[in-house]
Amino acid sequence: MSKTDCSTCTSRRSFLASSGVAFAGLAAAPAFATLQGCGENEDGSTIPPLSAPITVSLRSLNISAASSDSSFADSSYPYKIIVRHNGESQYQAWSSYCNHEGCEVDYVGTGFDCPCHGATWNAQGVLKTGPATEGLLQFVVSVSGDNFTVSNP
């Protein structure tokens, strides 16, 4: 389980204001990496998006049966990605990031639960109960042969 304590995080906006960086470019890039998951995205969401699409082997996910689920990790994204197979060629994928304090949620068959403080989401990732304040980030899924690719919506 990965957890981010955002009480010490800095939003992208306040980071830029306090550092005086008006986009110095490469010198600021490492500092931006530490802000992932703590600031606000342009759409107002606080859920970290993918830095680039991720492709894994569909076979490796072991979700060939309908109504099966799995998860995988990738070094380019700090949270596991939860995958569900709903039927023939119907796949869905979500970030496991809970926007309350950054714990990773679990898929529990009828929806998602956060083990840290009890937030819940329905089977489509829509928030049911807090303290989280956002639905889960659902990725766009494409499948080509054995290539299973997730990308930002």
Site for ligand FES in 66-105 (CB under 6 A): 98, 100-101, 103
* From candidates 32, 59, 60, 117, binder to ligand FES by CB under 6 A: 117
Q: How far is the CB of 61 from ligand FES (least distance, A)?
A: 24
If the CB atoms of residues 59 and 128 are measured against ligand FES, the closer one turns out to be: 128
Segment interacting with ligand FES (CB under 6 A) among 9-17, 57-65, 88-96, 113-121: 113-121
Burial 113-129 (b: 16+ CB within 10 A, else e): bbebeebbbeeebebee
Which part of the chain contacts ligand FES (CB under 6 A), choosing from 5-13, 55-63, 114-122, 142-150? 114-122
Give the pair of three-digit tokens for residue 56.
């894994």
Q: Among the candidate windows 12-20, 66-74, 111-119, 145-153, which touches ligand FES by CB under 6 A? A: 111-119
DSSP letter string, 31-94: HHHTTTTTS--TTS--SPPPSS-EEEEHHHHT--STTEEEEEEETTEEEEEEEEEEETTEEEEE
**How far, CA to CA in Å, does 32 sit from each of 78, 118, 133?**
14, 30, 23
Q: Does 38 bind ligand FES (CB under 6 A)?
A: no
Q: What's the min distance (Å) between Cβ of 93 and ligand FES?
A: 19
Using alpha carbons, select from 54, 55, 72 the residue that is nearest to residue 63: 72
Interacting residues with ligand FES (CB under 6 A): 98, 100-101, 103, 114, 116-119, 131-132
